Amino acid sequence: MKKRTQSSSKGVSYVSRNFVKFCLLWIFSLSSLMIQAQDNQRISVDLRGESLESTLWYLQNRTKFIFMYATEDIANITDISVRAKNKTITEILDECLEGTNLTYEVSGTAIVIKKRKTNKITISGWIRDASGEALPGATVTVRGSKHGAIAGLDGHYTFNIPAQEGLILTYSFIGMEKKTVRYTGKKTINVTLNSSSTEIDEVVVTGYQNIQRRDLVGSITTVKAKDILMPSYTTIDQMLQGRVAGMIVTNTSSRVGTAPKIQIRGTSTLLGNQDPLWVVDGIIQEDPLELNASSLMTEDLKNIIGNQISWLNPADIESISILKDASATAIYGSKASNGVIEITTKKNTTDRLSVNYTSNFVMGTRPNYGQFNYMNSKERVLFSQEAFNWGTPYGTEPIKQIYTYEGLLNMYLSHDISSEDFLAQRNVLETQNTDWFKLLTRRSFSHNHNISVSGGTNKYSYAASMGYSNSEGQEIGNDSERMTGRVAITIRPVQKLTINATINGSVSTNNGFAGGVNPMGYATTTNRSIDPDAYYQMKASYPYNSGVKSLSYNFVNERNNSGSKSKSSFMSASLDLKWNILDWLTYQFTGGYSNNNSTNEAWETEQTFYIAETYRGYDFNSVSPNSKEFGAALLPFGGELFTNNAQQYSYNIQNKLQFSKAFNNENRINALVGMELRSSTNKGVSNTVWGYAPDRGEVITLPTTPQAFTPITGSKNEGWGLLKKIYDGGWRKVNTTDNYLSVFATLAYSLKNRYVVNANIRNDASNRFGQDANHRIDPTYSFGFSWRASEEDFMKKYVKWITTLNFRGTYGIQGNAVTRISPDLILNQGKVANLYNRYQSTISQIPNPNLSWERTKSWNFGVDLELFSMFYMNLEYYTRRSNAIVELELPYEYGITSMKRNGGIIHNRGIEYTLTFTPIQKRDYALSVSLNASKNWNEGGHTDIDVNAASFLSGRSDIVLKEGYPLSSFWSYSFAGLDGKTGEALFNLLDIPEEERSRQIDPTTYLVYSGQKDPYFTGGLSLSFRYKSLTLNTSFSLLLGNKKRLPSPYEQFASSYYMPDPYTNINRDLLNRWKEPGDEAHTIIPSLPKAGMAYIELPNNENVYSIPLWEQSDAMVVSGSFLRCRNIGLSWQMKREWCEKIYMKNLSLNFNMDNIFVIASKRFNGFDPEVSNSVLPRNYSLGINIGF
């Protein structure tokens, strides 16, 4: 029993031990299975742009693992993006830690993140853009570490990092697409970055240096040329309207070849050039050639010569930057006080050979009478009859002729025709209704073609382009033709040296009209009762024959026998040499030379009315050579020819040394010092010859000799000025040179990519003030600071939806040397004075030793805000105060009427707002919106210049009219309604006591302020919608705040009293004039003038009729504000795979409509508020772009 018991005891012990072992084994196995189960647990993760720490917390909360790590090891790993579905924890960790210097170890439910133990490796190379240009300041970082480097001025980088597998390098540069490269063991990695379509506007390439926008604090707006191109226009300045906040672009004419007026942030000068400075690829463009002529015949010629960039083909432009505040423009010195428009042309590519062809065909509408408010034939005849019955006086007796109602009536009253003939011809006049628009205008048509070739390697690259454009304007006889060419070569003989050479050329021809020949003006103001083939009699006079009262006139004959032409050839060459001495130090030489030649001419032949009235006194070939009229003719044969040959050549030499270096990835310095030498010479020879016969081989027939000249009435001295002009000749020569020597420096310091300080200084020395050492040098300087608040840690942590938040502030002082104004005595040495037989000289300007540069002080404050990487907003406030040169009237005894002096205070301040956002961004469709708006307050300071009433009424902008008012202000008489008995206009404020009336009275005591002629608010809206391969674009421009004086319905009345000439048309508004008592309740148009009208005595003791006062009253003031739909365009882009099948790189088609509509005051009655008595044509274009 014991044994058993004993035996039994042993058995129990054995069983217990095995049971324990079994339990332990079972627990261990279960634990292992649990751990293995956890390790094999599959989860799904979708994280974007998270830090590694937040990623680990995310995984820990969704599994039973606990992560352990050193905070400093993972602090800099902030861009983790992982998208996993049903993956294990180890698979997810492998993906998260790929390319970092970290590894992990699993211990049960604990996972330890730790650094790898590796050796150091060295990686180096260069970073460039697609054109092969170095990208100084570009960064390269190692994903998941603090390691990285910044490229030097030559684009080269080098750094040491721990060796590890799966290294991922990220290359980035502001305005470029990021590029990631997996390290494969190569020690040299060269990278080319491509421009980012969404961030290109973040890149600023100034004429003097390439610098990242984040290191600039100035006010700069950049637009891409491809976003604003409009096929209807041939120059880029015409395409900028409504595109940039703070910049006003106003069309001045619908005629081909005319340049628009551009203002940036108001006006800072009164007598100087108010246009902005144009800069192309760092080379300042000089002002256009001057036309040294002031005769009536050359009026139109001045409008078609063009401006500083007429030679530049828009297809060659990459981007346009508008520099607005002192910090941005100070580097350009004294010529930049009105702002700078900087153009960057397209760069060479280092890609394979690329050929691109673009062609556009544009057709515009023809104007018609439905757009204007003028009488038809029947209305015009009825009006003349009513005026005759009312008793409206004629200045001279109407000429007897059958082509006008007044002439026909005079023939009837003189019994030259019967009543039957009178009524029959009157019926002809009433039904004539000549369509002058159809005869004198046409549908405008233009076509332009551009072909470009580019290619190269990293050692060299090239680009060449040619362009041709031909435009036929609305008016028959107005057309232009232009050919452009460009060649650019880039050579990199060694790694540290880059040489860029560019040659531009342009040849253009513009055809216009002689002075006094205006097809649009004639079509709108000529009586439609006149037969278009008739040579009707027009009032005329001739100083040597008082019997001349009228001469024959036919507009088509005038147009066909007169004209103007401008031919110009432009050539420029530039050389840019960049030597990267060290990684952080670069020397750059830039040299530019340009030559602009212009040949201009205007002519009137012997068959024109102008020659007949001015030099002959009779119609051509209407008298015999033996007649008295022939002997009294100064120019019996031939006409007049004006010629002008002008040449402008200029050179620009720049030497610059640029320093760019980053320290510890927190301090970055960009500095530049340089010297610029600039010179511009204008030479011109103009001449007028008489006796010109273009239809006879362009021969010259001499005028009548003084001995043979025999006036019919009066003496030779009666028209001595005219006689002297012919016999003395019209030859003139001009030779002027402007020289500038400048030194400049810039500094941009960035701390932690958050705090940026800018400083710019430039000294200009000009020969305009060469006699005064104190005024010879003009220092221009600016300071600026910005705080990139979005880079602060608290912003990144708590306000992630604010992508960018940047505050900026700048201050600067700029000078401006007004061309053709000097502190010295200017004496014009003239010809021999016939009265004294001695040389004569005239004083052009008396000396003023205190005259100095104009000065402008500017402040600018700005905020840049970007939300959700989608909405970009910019808000700026600025203030500018200028001490401008003014013209002071002098007493008669000085021998000159005025002198120039400093003292014209001009104050500008304004607000600008820009918004760009993309509310929809999908693969197949997208919508983007761009909006800008600006408001400028402009006012003049104290003035002690006496201003007469005429200046207040016209709104002179070359003087300060009244302190506290805008420069373009104008005043009006205060209209008080119409007299119920006579229909004459009544006015307020004219009843001033007799003792207070005088010629020196302040005109504003009896005039009322009407507003300013220049708009103070501008805006623009651009919309772009893309659906697959189709893109729809539209743009609008808005100008508000300006006032205009409407054209008077009485403007054709001589002295606003006498009936207009019978051959002129009249505004239809006069049909609604006051005719009888009671009409004053529904019209503001006074009754027709009549004999015996009383004068109105003004407070300045002038006596005038009421109608001239009404024309300049507030009743005729209207808002000049307008909203214009500038463009609607539809483009189609062929898919790349389709293009490849037909061996093309790209193919696109586009259709555009320009000047679709304009919304303005209905009181304009069809006239365009922007171009006054005309309209801008609506244009339709079709274009194609092909790339190979």
Residue 153 predicted with pLDDT over 70:
no
- Which of 46-55, 98-107, 522-531: highest mean pLDDT? 522-531
* pLDDT average, residue stretch 105-130: 81
As a whole number, the mean pLDDT across the chain is 84
> Domains along the chain?
41-115 (3.55.50.30), 120-196 (2.60.40.1120), 237-347 (2.170.130.10), 377-432 (no CATH)
Which of 716-725, 922-931, 1107-1116 has the least mean pLDDT?
Answer: 716-725
More confident residue, 114 or 100: 114
pLDDT of res. 26 = 42
* pLDDT average, residue stretch 145-163: 76
pLDDT of res. 351 = 64
DSSP state of 316: G
Residue 981 predicted with pLDDT over 60:
yes
Residue 32 predicted with pLDDT over 70:
no
Tokens coding 42: 């599959």
Residue 1123: pLDDT band by 50, 70, 90 thresholds?
very high
Residue 1141: pLDDT band by 50, 70, 90 thresholds?
confident
* pLDDT average, residue stretch 623-648: 93
Geometric angle at alpha carbon 792, from 787 and 794, rounded to 5°: 140
* pLDDT average, residue stretch 57-64: 83
pLDDT of res. 719 = 56
Separation CA 1099–CA 477 (nearest Å): 49
What does the pLDDT look like over 869-927, one tens digit per residue?
Answer: 788 999 999 999 988 877 777 766 666 777 777 777 889 999 999 999 888 888 888 89
Separation CA 214–CA 204 (nearest Å): 9
pLDDT of res. 37 = 46
Spell out the residues 6+ positions from residue 834 whose beta carbon is closer than 8 angstroms to its own. Answer: 724
Residue 299: pLDDT band by 50, 70, 90 thresholds?
low
pLDDT of res. 27 = 41
pLDDT of res. 121 = 81
pLDDT of res. 259 = 77
What does the pLDDT look like over 1008-1051, one tens digit per residue?
Answer: 999 999 899 999 999 999 998 999 999 999 999 999 999 899 99
- Which of 44-53, 420-429, 688-697, 1141-1150: highest mean pLDDT? 420-429
pLDDT of res. 1069 = 92
What does the H/E/C string look like for 560-624? HCEEEEEEEEEEEEEEEEEEEEECCEEEEEEEEEEEEEEEEEEEECCCCHHHHHHHHCCCCCCCC
More confident residue, 237 or 202: 237
Separation CA 432–CA 531 (nearest Å): 7
* pLDDT average, residue stretch 1166-1180: 80
pTM above 0.85, yes or no: no
* pLDDT average, residue stretch 1053-1079: 93
Residue 561 predicted with pLDDT over 70:
yes
What does the H/E/C string look like for 334-360? HHHCCCEEEEEECCCCCCCCEEEEEEE
* pLDDT average, residue stretch 690-714: 89
More confident residue, 775 or 834: 834
Q: Are 919 and 869 in contact (CB under 8 A)?
A: no
Separation CA 1086–CA 975 (nearest Å): 11
- Whole-number percent of the chain with pLDDT over 70: 89
What does the pLDDT look like over 572-584, one tens digit per residue?
Answer: 999 999 999 988 8
